[in-house]
Amino acid sequence: MHMTSRFVRYAVVCSIAAAVATMQAHAAAPPIHHPVAAIQDTETTAQRDARMAWWRDARFGMFIHWGLYAVPAGFWQGKPVHGIGEWIMNTGKIPVADYKKFSAQFDPTQFDAHTWVSLAKAAGMKYIVITAKHHDGFAMYASKADAFNIVDATPFKHDPLRDLADEARRQGLKFGLYYSQVQDWTAPGGAAIGGHWDKAQDGDFAQYLHTKAIPQLKELLANYHPDVLWFDTPTDAMTPQLASEIVALLDRYPQLIWNNRLGGGYQGDTQTPEQYIPPQGFPGEDWEVCMTINDTWGYKSNDAHFKSTKMLLQNLVDIASKGGNYLLNVGPDARGVIPAPEAERLQAIGHWLDVNGESIYDTSATPFADAHGSYSPTEKDENGKPRWIPTWNWRATRRPGKVYVHLLEWPGASFHVADADIHATGAYLLADPHHTPLKLTQDGKQLNVQLPAKPLDSIDTVLVIQTKS
């Protein structure tokens, strides 16, 4: 599978008609859909499948929000600032000069890439996505394009992304970078959702993009070879023309996966539902739920609202049963330490995956029609639509020859499905080292499996149903 260029670049003088003719010559190419005629996606389905293969198998990744905001850790001038920690500069309307001063205090001497990557690995995560630059404009790597970075502006003087990229590769994990391409609250011209609050922020957006964001993206691509680029918070400032300049850059890295948050009319590769699990997933699309473990992405010393291991594992299973990935966030502190309650939960998930990983990685969505929830007749979600209320009795994933039933509540003496569109040939519990056959009966679409009295796992005992496929 070798592709030199996914996006076709036409000379500016070239007309749409000429582009269409070229596209038609390329039989399996998708139709032109981007407003900038100069750049059109010509990737075939087979090329895309090959490019996305590792990501689709991965199912579970570590999101890391780490930046200068870990220094104030949720507090400004002695008072707690409400909301997510990495937004403290915007929420607290901290002046640019004051915010930049935090860099003199940022000395994460306890940072150790081996510890972090080992944790991701122990958790059963297959990839890492870390903030290279968040909305505050502070680069967490050695940037020549802008001096407001962890090497040039802190006593630490060290590039943690170098260590992490190298260590992730060493331990066999894919490595991705988050980059806030539109919002930048400390660079003149960078966008700020809610508007600028300091004259130092005023300037031209295109100039910000050309003097900071694009040069930094070039550095990141050339120096760290990310497998994923995770853009965020696109606004109208990112015009189709400006976005196409970024796409031309990304196109030099044809294996790169990037999300749907670039802006400027580009769809990207992945849907990114945030802090919720879409009730039906995104059938036929690649999607990844990103979620916090507590209520913040970036470290806040006063947020101890951690989700339970049970809830986190149920989320992973729920997402896998709908064919998506789970990008679960950790927020390391200003010393470079991943908070212990977060690490403990990840390790517990990893222990479950050590035994039951076969039922998650490289699987596809449930073969059963069960909805596992219903829309509330009264409650509304953020978009004013009826809220989805999940039930947590069981979920299913599958691979050729096997269906995995995740028993989140022990059903008693037997497991029963009324609408099983499979041909079952046998059953056993995945955590049973002997794979002792369980009594199975199938009568049309009625499937019944006899179970032992007690679950083998307190959160999720996986029942394997062997199938003729």
Residues that bind ligand JFZ (CB under 6 A): 84, 86-87, 232-233, 274, 290, 297
3-state SS class at 258: strand
**Which residue, 87 or 404, has its beta carbon nearer to ligand JFZ?**
87
229, 233, 232: which is closest to 219 by C-alpha? 229
Q: Report the nearest approach of ligand JFZ to the CB of residue 449 (Å).
A: 40
191 bridge partner residues = 183
**Which residue, 274 or 409, has its beta carbon nearer to ligand JFZ?**
274
d(CA 5, CA 27): 16
Q: Report the nearest approach of ligand JFZ to the CB of residue 231 (Å).
A: 10
**Which residue, 8 or 84, has its beta carbon nearer to ligand JFZ?**
84
Name the CA radius of gyration of the chain, rounded.
24
Could you give the strand order of the β-sheet that contains 414-417, starting from the edge strand earlier in sequence? 414-417, 446-450, 440-443
Sign of the alpha-carbon torsion through 1, 365, 291, 338: negative
Q: Report the nearest approach of ligand JFZ to the CB of residue 293 (Å).
A: 13
**Which residue, 60 or 404, has its beta carbon nearer to ligand JFZ?**
60
Please spell the DSSP secondary structure of 393-433, one letter per residue: SEEEEEETTEEEEEESS--SSEEEESS--S-EEEEEETT-T
Sequence letter at residue 231: F
Q: Report the nearest approach of ligand JFZ to the CB of residue 184 (Å).
A: 12
**Which residue, 84 or 191, has its beta carbon nearer to ligand JFZ?**
84
Classify residue 81 by burial, with Cβ atoms within 10 Å: 0-12, 13-18, 19+. buried
**Which residue, 259 or 314, has its beta carbon nearer to ligand JFZ?**
259
Residues 6+ apart with CB under 8 A from 373: 279, 388, 389, 390, 391
Classify residue 248 by burial, with Cβ atoms within 10 Å: 0-12, 13-18, 19+. middle
328 bridge partner residues = 62, 291
Q: Are 360 and 60 in contact (CB under 8 A)?
A: yes
Q: Report the nearest approach of ligand JFZ to the CB of residue 233 (Å).
A: 5
Q: Report the nearest approach of ligand JFZ to the CB of residue 263 (Å).
A: 12
154, 255, 242, 245: which is closest to 205 by C-alpha? 242
Q: Report the nearest approach of ligand JFZ to the CB of residue 443 (Å).
A: 47
**Which residue, 159 or 232, has its beta carbon nearer to ligand JFZ?**
232
Q: Report the nearest approach of ligand JFZ to the CB of residue 146 (Å).
A: 19
**Which residue, 235 or 308, has its beta carbon nearer to ligand JFZ?**
235
